[in-house]
Amino acid sequence: MLRRNEVAAGIKDYILRHHLKPGDLLPTEAELCEAVGASRSSVREAVKTLSALDIVEVRHGHGTYVGRMSLAALVESLAFRGLLSSEDDHLVLGEVVDVRQNIEQGFAPQVAQGLDTDQLARLRTLAAGMAEAAERGDDYLELDKQFHLLLMEPLGNDLIQQLTGAFWEVQSIVTPTLGSEHQGALTLTASLHMAIVEAAEARDAAALRTAVAAHYDPIRELIASVRRPSTA
């Protein structure tokens, strides 16, 4: 285990020393073995570990590349933790909702000021699309995700974009264990997104904070409704 981590550290060191960037090709396995002073099987093992973390990306038949270091690993472990806790109290889902709300509220001033006309128009289109889907009785997961990513776009902070996407993924994986949402909840949530758009259009940071908070009420109520009283 230690050995595998050492070889992985050697490969990361190689990437740093050679100033490689995400998407750059790594040397062949044979060259990598020589560079880090390890056997072929150790290097292969280490590459698998780094691949699970998206630090490298193995494209079969092409070679190994520096990865995008996305938060995919975060999504996978957090979503699974969420599913594990879904059978008792949905603790993890509640925590994810708290963090999402806190981040979106905290950046409300920059968002209210920073959204340009095009972004505002796209937010409105997405919220309108949600209302239409709800009217047909369909859910609108993808529109919802696009909405929240777009809302944070003015910040120009890639980590925020990735966290927003990651937490949204976790929530969308775990929420179905709460039972299916009925049409009334879908319609309500769509209208709460439109209220966010209206606050943003008015460039009103305080109203945006309030609208963001209100928009998390239905999911909080859903969590509370299935949470059984503790028997401790």
Query: Which positions lie near a second copy, rule CB under 8 A?
Result: 1, 12, 15-16, 19, 21-22, 45, 48-49, 52-55, 58, 60, 67, 69-71, 73-74, 76-78, 80-81, 83-84, 87, 91-92, 95-96, 98-99, 102-103, 105-107, 155, 157-160, 163
Q: Is residue 62 classed as helix, strand or coil in its secondary structure?
A: coil
Residues 6+ apart with CB under 8 A from 178: 86, 90, 93, 222, 223, 226
Angle at 114 between CA 113 and CA 115, to 5 degrees: 105
CB of 7 to a second copy, least distance (A): 13
CB of 180 to a second copy, least distance (A): 19
The nearer residue to a second copy, 15 or 223, going by C-beta atoms, is 15
The nearer residue to a second copy, 50 or 190, going by C-beta atoms, is 50
Whose CA is closest to 36, among 65, 7, 64, 56? 7
The nearer residue to a second copy, 103 or 222, going by C-beta atoms, is 103
The nearer residue to a second copy, 60 or 228, going by C-beta atoms, is 60
CB of 229 to a second copy, least distance (A): 18
The nearer residue to a second copy, 126 or 175, going by C-beta atoms, is 175
Whose CA is closest to 98, among 223, 228, 225, 199? 223
CB of 218 to a second copy, least distance (A): 20
Rounded to 5 degrees, φ, ψ at 64 are -110, 130
The token pair that represents 172 in the structure block: 């969308």
CB of 26 to a second copy, least distance (A): 14
The DSSP element (H or E) to which 66 belongs, if any, is strand 63-66
CB of 51 to a second copy, least distance (A): 8
The nearer residue to a second copy, 101 or 187, going by C-beta atoms, is 101
Task: State how far the Cα of 64 lies from the Cα of 232, in Å rounded to an integer.
Answer: 51
Q: Are strands 56-59 and 63-66 parallel, antiparallel or unpaired?
A: antiparallel
Q: What is the dihedral of CA 25, 29, 30, 35, to 10 degrees?
A: 70
